[in-house]
Amino acid sequence: MIRDFVAIDFETANHELSSVCSVGIVMVRNGIITDRFYSLIQPEPNYYNYGNTAIHGLTYDDTTNEPVFSEVWKQIEPLIEDLPFVAHNKGFDEACLKAAFRSYQMDYPDYQFYCTLAESRRQLRHLVNHQLHTVAEDCGYILTNHHNALADAEACAEIALQLL
């Protein structure tokens, strides 16, 4: 059972995985949420697809004056230390992180990732689906601001505390 980790969630501006436009981070130590971090990010490439905006509500105007990924990651890096990441659908969030690192020519530290989606499919077979809000509710957490990166990261942290 992991008790120390960082739950992470990205939202993207378009179909490019590098186009992260917001990030939410929830730090967990000894099974307790100890810190939270949220930032809007000017995406790369810097344009928004209608479908992405329809999901999370963010637009070009929301992020045009925000810092780029490399600047935001400088704030996040000291918070995560050597903790593993947890994401609901780690394939997406890990791919976004790697793509953003590549886009800004940053050395990727080969972070360790755990997946609450995969774990929910193993342990919660009774659910009609394994979407974040469904799994969170089954774990006793009501996700009220779905597709806000910080809200989603917090829901993921709560799920991880029960399933991982």
**C-beta separation of 4 from 83 below 8 A:** yes
pLDDT in tens, 20-75: 999 999 999 999 999 999 999 999 999 999 999 999 999 999 999 999 999 999 99
User: Rounded distance, CA 89 to CA 44, Å?
Assistant: 22
| CATH, residue 68 | 3.30.420.10
Q: How confident is the model at residue 91 (pLDDT cuts 50, 70, 90)?
A: very high
User: Rounded distance, CA 111 to CA 162, Å?
Assistant: 22
**pTM value?**
0.96
pLDDT in tens, 100-143: 999 999 999 999 999 999 999 999 999 999 999 999 999 999 99
Host H or E run for residue 9: strand 5-12
Q: What pLDDT score does 136 carry?
A: 97
Domain count, the chain: 1
**Is the predicted pLDDT of residue 1 greater than 90, yes or no?**
no
Residue 99: which domain range? 5-163
